[in-house]
Amino acid sequence: MIMRVKVTNWRKFPNSKEWLFDGGIQLIYGPNASGKSSILDAIHFAFLGVNEKIDDNPCNDPSEPTIVVVDFRGIDGNDYRIVRSYKKIKRKEEDFALYRLDSGNEDYLSKEPHDAMKLFGVSNDIFTHIFFLKEGEIYRALSRTKNHLSEEIASIMNLERFDMLVHKLQKVRTSFIKSLKNQVSAQYSQVTIERDGLESEINELEFKIEQLKKEKNEIKDLYSLAQRKAEITENIRKLEKEKLQSGEVLMKLRKKYKEQHDLQAYIKSRIKLLEGTIKQLSKDLSELTSKNYEIKAEIQQITKTIAEITRFKNEKHVTCPTCYQKVNPAILEEARKSFASKKKQLQDQLKDIEDKIRILEKQIEGSNKELDQLRKDLEVAEQSVEVIAQYQEYINDLQKQLRTFPELEDIKKYEEQLEEKEEEIRKLYAEKIKAEEILQSLSTRTKLSPEEVSFQEEFIKLLEKTVKEYKKEILDQKLVAVTNVIKSEWKDLMNEDIWSISFDKQFIPVLNYKGKQRTIRGLSASEKLMLSIIIRAAFMHHIMSNKTLILDDPTISLDEDHIKKAATFYRKVIENKHLNQILISSFNRTFRELLQPDKVIELE
């Protein structure tokens, strides 16, 4: 029975959390992602550690270890404690300790997990596929491959006695053959001498082969070093070539700028000077443009005035709009000529300004082109200097590596030495095969006598008979009780009869149900789940020592009717003492109300 679970840095629980459990139905209730499965997985982790069902980094904070403590009551009636810690940063670090609890004190027992499984009364397979069932695996565990299921059911039914019987029979056979060999040792003495000589020769050949392999590996190591050295030398040559190419680019730029020593500083000063020139030219251009707009506006105004004077002049009676006196046309003509003269001066001045603007625009355009080229040249110069420095750094590193190499011969010489060693090894292998063939021919001269052959045949028949009788005993005595419980519980729970239930040679459950014979795979999802739980409860009641069952969200595939039946069944299993404890996680409120658990642990 599980009594207590405490976790630290476990999945969604960053701090220490502790939960206490009693007998009967213990419900862990809460919404999805509240940590229900994490509590049950902590029990799985405590017994079995990280495996295919527990991810390899369950720590909430990966930089800190996770610690899980589980207290349980063993099948011997004593209380025990498991402490398992796990941390994975660069490599996996996992520690396990088992203690016996006596009046609140911890007595260290073992560091082996299988000792805890033995005290809990289960094996690894039983724990994973019978005792602890994760969400979605409740009925799938009994639908596994035949070989796996056969091994698990055989373990549940304590077939270790059969192994003990086989061991005793093997001892009888070994004793008999030893006695027989003593009786016929005289006639085989010469063969034994020859065999010993051949075995000694084979051993010597194997020793020589191993020595040659060792020498070959040493040569191979030197060959690899020589290859690596040649690769580094070639890389240095390539880097020197690329460095030279970058240097040529830099030299062309120096030549372009008349062999300036500090090329980058010179180009930067030119850029700065040119940027100042462009700024001043742009300022001058802006001023001329502004003046250009002013002159155009003034010309436009004068043009309007001339037009107005001309209109007044062409009228027959011209009067002043202010004093209403007649205006002399000669005065109007003189005013018109004066404005026309001023307009001509302004137009000449405008043309001069526009010529200056065009000159400034060309100067700015040319300066911008020159500035762009300077910037490109600066970028090329900086990249070339940087690339040359990088290449030089790589070259220095490779040359430093070269200095660490020992004195090596030419690669071709190592290749020749390797071929020589390979040929020597092939010859020795041929000699060894020939000696083994001779040794095999000696074995045919020492075949067992007819009496021995007869004994072996009788021995095999005895083993087969023992297996059949033992399996018949299991099926007759244990499976009858199990199948009766399954039929009874199914009828009470589903209000339907299973006409018969049996287990085939691979222990796969076979049902004669609803007029059809089929395995558990032929049922609906709800029927599979309910029958799987009933089968487990029956096995645990009649055969297994441990009476605890852990179910992770067993209502996930059930409709409302089957949820009600499941809750009734779990309660009945506890009341009839088929099981002592059921740990269930669920988020279903209806299931909680129907289940009437003995204890509820609520999570948010």
Contact by Cβ (8 Å): 494, 565:
yes
What is the C-alpha separation between 116 and 109, in angstroms, rounded? 9
- pLDDT reported for residue 375: 87
Candidate from 6-20, 102-116, 267-281 with smallest mean pLDDT? 267-281
Residue 9: per-residue pLDDT: 92
**Phi/psi zone of residue 327: left (φ > 0), alpha (ψ -120 to 50 degrees), beta?**
beta
pLDDT single digits (tens) 58-67: 888 888 889 9
Cα distances from 461 to residues 261, 327, 458, in angstroms, run 102, 153, 5
Average pLDDT over residues 482-491: 75
- d(CA 328, CA 333) in angstroms, rounded, equals 9
How many residues in total does the chain contain? 604
Residues paired with residue 510 on neighbouring β-strands, in sequence order:
502, 519
Compute the average pLDDT of residues 305-317.
75
Q: Which long-range contacts (CB under 8 A, 24 or more apart) does 484-489 make?
A: 485/534, 485/537, 485/538, 485/541, 485/542, 485/578, 486/531, 486/534, 486/535, 486/538, 489/534, 489/537, 489/538, 489/569, 489/572
**Could you tell me which residue, 24 or 509, shows the higher pLDDT?**
24
DSSP one-letter code for 70: E
User: Considering the chain, what is the average pLDDT of its residues?
Assistant: 79
Looking at per-residue pLDDT, the higher value among 471 and 538 belongs to 538
Which of 64-78, 110-124, 244-258, 564-578 has the least mean pLDDT? 244-258
Residues with Cβ within 8 Å of residue 90, at least 6 apart in sequence: none
* pLDDT tens column, 345-375: 988 888 998 898 899 889 889 889 988 988 8
Bridge partners of residue 7, in order along the sequence: 17, 68
Query: Which residue from 427, 551, 500 is spatially nearest to 132, judged by alpha carbons?
Result: 551
Compute the average pLDDT of residues 390-398.
Answer: 84
State which amino acid sits at residue 428: L
* 566 contacts 555 by C-beta, under 8 angstroms: yes
**Rounded Cα distance, 271 and 248, in Å:** 23
Contact of 555 with 27, CB cutoff 8 Å: no
Alpha carbons 567 and 320: distance in angstroms, whole number: 116
Enumerate residues 6+ apart whose C-beta is below 8 A from 399.
236
pLDDT on residue 543 = 67
- Is the pLDDT at 444 greater than 70? The verdict is no
Q: What is the mean pLDDT of residues 147-175?
A: 57
Q: Which of 4-18, 122-136, 166-180 has the lowest mean pLDDT?
A: 166-180
Measured CA to CA, the distance from residue 552 to residue 355 in angstroms comes to 91
Q: Are 411 and 227 in contact (CB under 8 A)?
A: yes
Residue 98's pLDDT band, with cuts at 50, 70 and 90, is very high
What amino acid occupies position 370?
E
Question: Quick one: average pLDDT of 83-100?
Answer: 88
Q: What is the pLDDT of residue 146?
A: 47
- The pLDDT of residue 161: 54
Task: Report the pLDDT value the prediction gives residue 587, as an integer from 0 to 100.
Answer: 92
| Rounded Cα–Cα distance for residues 74 and 47 (Å) | 13
What percent of the chain is predicted at pLDDT more than 90?
17
Closest to 351 in 3D by CA, of 302, 295, 283: 295
> Cβ–Cβ contacts within 10 Å for residue 450, how many?
8
The string of pLDDT tens digits covering residues 500-557 is 666 665 556 677 766 677 666 667 767 777 777 777 777 777 666 778 889 888 887 7
Going by C-alpha positions, the residue among 386, 316, 309, 382 that lies closest to residue 340 is 309
pLDDT of residue 327: 62
Q: Residues 309-336: what's their mean pLDDT?
A: 68
pLDDT digit string (tens) for 283-292? 988 988 999 8
Yes or no: say if 539 and 156 are a contact pair by the CB < 8 Å rule.
yes
CA angle, 21 as apex, 18 and 23 as ends, to 5°? 175
Taking only Cα atoms into account, the Rg of the chain, rounded to an integer number of angstroms, comes to: 50
pLDDT band for 129, please (50, 70, 90 cuts): low
- Of 116-120, 168-172, 404-408, 524-528, minimum mean pLDDT range: 168-172
What's residue 3's pLDDT? 96
For 521-530, b/e burial (b = at least 16 CB within 10 A) is eebeebbbbb
Q: Which pLDDT score, from 0 to 100, does residue 530 have?
A: 75
Asked whether 32 and 556 are in contact (CB, 8 A), the reply is no
Helix ranges restricted to H, 73-188: 113-120, 124-126, 146-156, 160-184
Residues in CB range of 97: below 8 A, 6 or more apart: 82, 83, 84, 108, 110, 111
